[in-house]
């Protein structure tokens, strides 16, 4: 391919590390909310809330005209311009609801706060309500799906225009959530049953994630794919981003946790190894988002 | 005036670039910047590298080794992804079918930039707005019944701008007479930027 008119979106739109971290936090909060239905623990509520706050703070800081937000919302509301066909607006709505719900569940998990502010005891009742917590999990799942569609609907970047991205985001966010639960086990915040289930689930999710990444690269590089998609995928496979893909995303992010999970199943648990596995998995999930963003190029108009 | 969802524009204004007449002098690029963003005349646009202009110039070489230039700008698509993806409704169609930006509603999220298949937006370093054709000064020219700066400045008469709904407009006549194509038609954006190939 003659690399004329190749422009990486990171140089122009600047969707790079900040947005990767935003997508990572949204994924952890999202699939973490699904896990919260089964593991209603204070550390999980803290992680979900903190992830949402950090993710939203990062994406807000990335706005080129953040100072104009009050005017934006005022004009939207006063003139009635709501573009609910945009995944970004859908995401803003979903993440806002998610943030409020996560704050409620966080308060419900803070006995000191409930004792001091008795009028907040209704949060405890919501935390015990399966319907509410189930809806909370659904909102979290939808938020993770949104973070995939946000990217895949950016029509200008052919590498991203695939249904595999939302799927990949959900699988990898699930991997990250299992890693968080394993960390909780290492720190003694959840019991062993959660860890045993997590190790087996994590192994399956790692395999699914590996398959989804290879499918994403294969489809993007196949004959007939847009030139921009092929160039972006080639950057990931053998270009400047290859080290991040093979060593970071697949080596550290998938193969290390898989090897440790297999070892654990065969030989028994080791907390230091589980700690390494969890950190590696979380790193891999972050790098996956970063490498997909960094590899985004526009369709060259001259070949 | 902003068109509401489902409303049709009264005119369908389109740009035409006759590549067979273009001699790649760059007058249109300079005229665009000096008219719409004169403060950028001596400042580099960091994204593309070079002069900040609503017209992007791509220099290349044909398979036969001949130098080739392609001029790209906002295509004012009739099915514009930047309009459908903008979360705040800042990007909209006006009554002329032109894709416009309402600065009051722009937060600088860049979604319109990554949504555009033609890579024709650049960020103004002072305002943070994702600029593109047509600039405010050119819109004023059109409002006064004149042609945009790029059309007026082209010494070879390789550029034109007019209403596709009017069969007697110069662009309609030209597109009937000469063979033309649109860029990245397969994306389904329905661009209104026509590249004339010759007779």
Check whether A93 has a pLDDT greater than 90. Answer: yes
Q: What is the pLDDT of residue A185?
A: 93
User: Where exactly are the structural domains of chain B?
Assistant: 13-198
Pick from A86, A298, A299: CB nearest B85 = A86
ipTM: 0.93
User: Where exactly are the structural domains of chain A?
Assistant: 9-294
Is-contact A197 A190, C-beta < 8 A?
A: no
- Of B177, B147, B167, B168, nearest to B159 (Cα)? B147
Alpha helices in B61-148 (DSSP H): 81-85, 111-115, 136-143
Check whether A2 has a pLDDT greater than 80. Answer: no
Alpha carbon distance B34, B17 (integer Å): 20
Q: Tell me the sheet residues that pair with B91.
A: B101
Burial class (CB in 10 A: 0-12, 13-18, 19+), A61: exposed
Q: What is the DSSP string of A232-301?
A: HHHHHHHSTTHHIIIIIIIIIIIIHHHHHHHHHHHH---HHHHHHHHHHHHHHHHHHHHHHHHT-BPPPS
Check whether B144 has a pLDDT greater than 80. Answer: yes
pLDDT band at B48 (very low <50, low <70, confident <90, very high): confident
* Fold classification of B13-198 (topology level): Alpha-Beta Plaits (3.30.70)
Mean pLDDT score, A18-34: 98
Question: Within 13 A of B107's CA, how many CA atoms are on the CB side?
Answer: 22
Strands B13-18 and B91-93: unpaired
Q: What percent of chain A has pLDDT over 70?
A: 99
Among the four given CATH numbers 3.40.50.620, 3.40.640.10, 3.40.50.2300, 1.20.1630.10, the one describing domain A9-294 = 1.20.1630.10
Q: What is the pLDDT of residue A42?
A: 95
Is-contact B84 A83, C-beta < 8 A?
A: yes
Between A199 and A172, whose confidence is greater?
Answer: A172
Alpha carbon distance B175, B18 (integer Å): 10
Q: Which letter, b or e, does each residue of B52-69 get, where b requires 16 or more Cβ atoms within 10 Å of its Cβ?
A: bbbbbbbebeeeeeeebe
The predicted-structure confidence for B71-89, as pLDDT tens digits, reads as follows 999 999 999 999 999 999 9
pTM for this prediction: 0.94
Q: Tell me the sheet residues that pair with B163.
A: B13
Check whether A106 has a pLDDT greater than 70. Answer: yes
Alpha carbon distance A250, A237 (integer Å): 11
In sequence order, which residues have a C-beta less than 8 Å from that of residue A141 and are 6 or more positions away? A30, A31, A33, A34, A170
Least confident piece of the model among A128-132, B65-69, B147-151, B181-185: B65-69
The predicted-structure confidence for A118-176, as pLDDT tens digits, reads as follows 999 999 999 999 999 999 999 999 999 999 999 999 999 999 999 999 999 999 999 99
Query: Cβ of B108 and A14 within 8 Å?
Result: no
Q: What is the pLDDT of residue A5?
A: 82
Alpha helices in chain A (DSSP H): 9-12, 17-38, 42-62, 69-79, 87-108, 111-116, 122-127, 130-152, 164-186, 192-221, 227-238, 242-243, 256-267, 271-294
Rg of chain A in Å (alpha carbons): 20
pLDDT band at A3 (very low <50, low <70, confident <90, very high): low
Tokens of A54: 């950090």
Any CB–CB contact under 8 A between B187 and chain A?
A: yes
Alpha carbon distance A73, B5 (integer Å): 20
Whose tokens are 């690399």? That residue is: A3
Largest CA distance in chain B: 49
**Phi and psi at residue A48, in whole multiples of 5°?**
-60, -50
The count of CB pairs under 8 A between chains A and B is 132
C-alpha distance from residue B47 to each of A168, B33, B44, B56, B112 (Å): 29, 16, 9, 11, 15
pLDDT band at A4 (very low <50, low <70, confident <90, very high): confident
Check whether A1 has a pLDDT greater than 60. Answer: no
Q: Measure in Å the smallest separation between the Cα of B79 and chain A Cα atoms.
A: 12
Q: Measure in Å the smallest separation between the Cα of B185 and chain A Cα atoms.
A: 12
Whose tokens are 């970063």? That residue is: A290
* Mean pLDDT, chain A, whole residue set: 94
The predicted-structure confidence for A236-295, as pLDDT tens digits, reads as follows 999 999 999 999 999 999 999 999 999 998 988 899 999 999 999 999 999 999 999 999
List all residues of chain B from 106 to 135 with a beta carbon under 8 Å from chain A: 106-111, 113-119, 121-123, 127-129
Check whether B198 has a pLDDT greater than 70. Answer: no
């Amino acid at each position: 391919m003659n690399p004329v008119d190749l422009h990486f979106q990171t140089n122009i739109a600047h969707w790079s590390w900040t947005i990767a971290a935003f997508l990572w936090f949204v994924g952890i909060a999202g699939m973490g909310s699904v896990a919260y239905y089964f593991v209603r623990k204070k550390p999980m509520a803290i992680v979900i809330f903190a992830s949402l706050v950090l993710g939203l703070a990062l994406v807000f800081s990335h706005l080129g005209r953040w100072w104009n937000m009050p005017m934006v919302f005022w004009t939207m509301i006063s003139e009635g311009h709501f573009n609910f066909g945009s995944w970004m607006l859908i995401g803003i709505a979903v993440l806002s609801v998610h943030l409020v719900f996560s704050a409620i569940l966080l308060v419900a998990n803070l006995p000191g706060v409930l004792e001091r502010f008795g009028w907040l005891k209704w949060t405890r009742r919501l935390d015990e309500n399966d319907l509410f917590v189930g809806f909370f999990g659904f909102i979290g799942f939808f938020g993770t799906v949104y973070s995939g569609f946000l990217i895949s609907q950016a029509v200008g970047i052919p590498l991203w225009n695939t249904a595999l991205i939302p799927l990949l985001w959900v699988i990898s966010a699930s991997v990250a959530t299992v890693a968080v639960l394993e960390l909780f086990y290492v720190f003694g915040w959840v019991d062993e049953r959660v860890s045993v289930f997590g190790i087996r689930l994590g192994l399956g999710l790692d395999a699914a994630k590996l398959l989804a990444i290879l499918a994403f690269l294969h489809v993007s590089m196949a004959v007939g794919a847009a030139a921009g998609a092929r160039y972006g995928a080639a950057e990931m496979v053998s270009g400047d981003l290859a080290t991040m893909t093979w060593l970071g995303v697949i080596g550290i992010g998938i193969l290390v946790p898989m090897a440790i999970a297999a070892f654990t199943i065969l030989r028994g648990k080791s907390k230091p190894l589980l700690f390494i596995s969890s950190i590696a998995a979380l790193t891999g999930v972050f790098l996956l988002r970063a490498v997909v963003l960094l590899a985004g190029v526009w369709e060259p108009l001259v070949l | 005036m902003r068109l509401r969802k489902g409303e049709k524009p009264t005119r369908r204004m389109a740009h035409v670039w006759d590549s067979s007449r273009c001699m790649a002098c760059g007058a249109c690029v300079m005229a665009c910047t000096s008219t719409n963003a004169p403060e950028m005349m001596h400042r580099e646009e960091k994204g593309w590298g070079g002069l900040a202009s609503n017209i992007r110039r791509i220099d290349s070489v044909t398979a036969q080794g001949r130098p080739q230039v392609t001029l790209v700008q906002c295509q004012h698509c009739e099915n514009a992804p930047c309009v459908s993806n903008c979360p705040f409704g800042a990007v909209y169609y006006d009554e002329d079918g032109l894709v416009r930006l309402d600065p009051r509603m722009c937060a600088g999220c860049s979604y319109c930039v990554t949504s555009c298949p033609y890579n024709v937006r650049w960020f103004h370093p002072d305002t943070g707005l994702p600029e593109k054709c047509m600039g405010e000064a050119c819109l004023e020219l059109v409002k006064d019944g004149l042609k945009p700066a790029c059309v007026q400045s082209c010494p070879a008469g390789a550029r034109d701008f007019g209403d596709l709904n009017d069969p007697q407009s110069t662009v309609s006549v030209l597109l009937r007479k000469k063979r033309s194509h649109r860029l990245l038609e397969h994306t389904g954006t329905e661009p209104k930027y026509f590249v004339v190939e010759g007779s």
